[in-house]
């Protein structure tokens, strides 16, 4: 979810669900150790619980970044062993690390030593790489990495093809095999196994939860964010939902946009993550177009939100009149 789940996206999603754990986009160890740490690590306390997702393959560098995650107050630090992009492979991390389970074990052990019991160290990975399609590969990977102290594995139920497929195609072409993830839970009942990949509706989510400890949802939650508003009630047992309605969420995000604008953040940097908020409602398309219209970039946050609301209401009214 590079360039997607930044702090503004996470603040928006937290307006929809209190309980869902949010993850940062992947941040490389080099960016944290030698770059602008605050830019990569700062987050609003309202985002909690939030996990820092790291990309790297050097145990001591990852250990230092885990200490930074602890210092910044993250609820979890996650090592990404699932990203198949060529750029990530050139850095010798991401999905290619699945071919080096002992190294991943050592990375996890170093991170665990750095933070102790203060926060969990988790691993996100695929069920295989390239044409290695037998279950034994992912079983052995999980077994080896668990020896380093990892107790939570987030498993994207597809292979990662490291050559010949784009990152987009890697999310669609390799077949989904959720049964591999189910088997991991059966063979490692002491571990927490979370399934990722291809989850698009509540029926799928509920079915997966019959077999594993949790489900991670990425792009579907981003593109259809109002789905998150039902999760606290349907999956966490909360009587009162976080979000009353889409208008309440929009009002909260206007206040956030104005607060960010005072820090020099352009409104579109925030609202680009909200474009699916009214999806399925009358006037949603007009609202989305107004929010993303380049001609509105000169407006302040309040002006932008008012223009979008006006477009939505007018389009909804026209639709009713036509009916």
User: Which CATH number is 286's domain given?
Assistant: 1.20.120
pLDDT above 90: residue 309: yes
Confidence tier at 90 by pLDDT (50, 70, 90):
low
The residue out of 233, 264, 296 marking a domain boundary is: 233
Q: What is the pTM of this model?
A: 0.93
Q: Rounded to an integer, what distance in angstroms lies between the CA atom of residue 165 and that of residue 171?
A: 10
Residue 87 and residue 170 in one domain: yes
Q: Rounded to an integer, what distance in angstroms lies between the CA atom of residue 56 and that of residue 79?
A: 8
HSE at residue 157, side-chain half, CA atoms within 13 A, is 22
Q: What is the pLDDT of residue 4?
A: 85
**Burial readout 253-284 (b: 16 or more C-beta within 10 A, e: otherwise):** bbebbeebbeeebebbebbebbbbbbbeebbb
Q: Rounded to an integer, what distance in angstroms lies between the CA atom of residue 208 and that of residue 53?
A: 23
DSSP assigned state of 41 = H
Is there a domain that residue 277 lies in? yes
Is there a domain that residue 115 lies in? yes
φ/ψ of 50, rounded to 5, equals -135, 140
Is there a domain that residue 175 lies in? yes
The residue out of 233, 262, 293 marking a domain boundary is: 233
pLDDT above 80: residue 112: yes
Q: Rounded to an integer, what distance in angstroms lies between the CA atom of residue 5 and that of residue 302?
A: 24
Give the CA distances from residue 262 to residues 36, 47, 297, 306, in Å, rounded to whole numbers and listed in that order. Answer: 20, 20, 16, 19
Q: Are 142 and 192 in contact (CB under 8 A)?
A: no
pLDDT in tens, 206-257: 999 999 999 999 999 999 999 999 999 999 988 776 777 999 999 999 999 9
CATH of the domain at 170: 3.20.20.70
Q: To 5 degrees, how large is the angle CA 279–CA 281–CA 287?
A: 70
pLDDT above 70: residue 109: yes
Q: From the candidates 65, 81, 83, 150, give the one annotated as an active-site residue.
A: 83
Q: What is the mean pLDDT of the chain?
A: 93
Domain range for 116: 7-233
Mean of pLDDT values over 152-164: 91
Confidence tier at 264 by pLDDT (50, 70, 90):
very high
Torsion of CA 169, 171, 177, 179, to 10 degrees: 180
Q: What is the pLDDT of residue 201?
A: 94
Is there a domain that residue 239 lies in? no
Q: Rounded to an integer, what distance in angstroms lies between the CA atom of residue 134 and that of residue 303?
A: 56
Residue 16 and residue 82 in one domain: yes
Residue 71 and residue 50 in one domain: yes
Is there a domain that residue 59 lies in? yes
pLDDT above 80: residue 322: no
Q: What is the pLDDT of residue 83?
A: 83
The residue out of 233, 258, 285 marking a domain boundary is: 233
Q: What is the pLDDT of residue 169?
A: 76
Q: Rounded to an integer, what distance in angstroms lies between the CA atom of residue 292 and that of residue 308?
A: 9
pLDDT above 60: residue 89: no
Beta strand pairing call for 27-28 and 22-23: unpaired
Higher pLDDT, 86 or 172: 172
Instruction: Tell me, yes or no, if 83 is annotated catalytic.
Output: yes
Region of 293 please: left (phi>0), alpha (psi -120 to 50) or beta.
beta
pLDDT in tens, 298-307: 999 999 999 9
Q: Rounded to an integer, what distance in angstroms lies between the CA atom of residue 170 and that of residue 218?
A: 14
Confidence tier at 118 by pLDDT (50, 70, 90):
very high
Number of domains in the chain: 2
Residue 140 and residue 283 in one domain: no
Mean of pLDDT values over 141-164: 94
DSSP assigned state of 101 = H
pLDDT above 90: residue 164: no
């Amino acid at each position: 979810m590079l360039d997607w789940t930044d702090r503004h996206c996470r603040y928006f999603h937290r307006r929809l669900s209190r309980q869902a754990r949010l993850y940062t986009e992947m941040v490389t160890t080099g960016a944290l150790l030698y770059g602008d740490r605050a830019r990569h690590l700062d987050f609003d306390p309202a985002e909690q619980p939030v996990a820092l997702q790291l990309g790297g393959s050097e145990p001591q560098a990852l250990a230092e970044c885990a200490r930074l995650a602890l210092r910044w107050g993250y609820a979890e630090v996650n090592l990404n062993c699932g990203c198949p992009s060529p750029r990530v492979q050139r850095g010798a991390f991401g999905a290619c690390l699945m071919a080096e389970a002992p190294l991943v074990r050592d990375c996890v052990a170093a991170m665990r030593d750095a933070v102790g019991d203060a926060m969990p160290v988790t691993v996100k990975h695929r069920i295989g790489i390239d044409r290695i399609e037998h279950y034994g590969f992912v079983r052995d990977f999980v077994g080896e990495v668990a020896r380093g102290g990892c107790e939570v594995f987030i498993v994207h139920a597809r292979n990662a093809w490291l050559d010949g497929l784009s990152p987009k195609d890697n999310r669609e072409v390799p077949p989904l095999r959720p049964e591999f993830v189910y088997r991991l839970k059966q063979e490692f009942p002491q571990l927490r196994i979370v399934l990722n990949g291809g989850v698009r509706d509540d029926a799928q989510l509920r079915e997966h939860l019959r077999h594993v400890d949790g489900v991670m949802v990425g792009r579907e939650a981003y593109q259809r964010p109002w789905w998150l508003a039902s999760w606290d009630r349907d999956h966490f047992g909360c009587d009162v939902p976080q979000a009353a309605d889409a208008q309440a969420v929009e009002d909260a995000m206007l206040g956030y946009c104005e607060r960010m604008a005072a820090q020099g953040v352009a409104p579109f940097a925030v609202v680009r993550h909200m474009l699916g908020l009214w999806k399925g409602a009358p006037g949603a398309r007009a609202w989305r177009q107004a929010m993303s219209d380049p001609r509105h970039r000169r407006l302040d946050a309040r002006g932008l939100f008012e223009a979008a609301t006006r477009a939505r209401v007018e389009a909804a009214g026209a639709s009713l009149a036509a009916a």
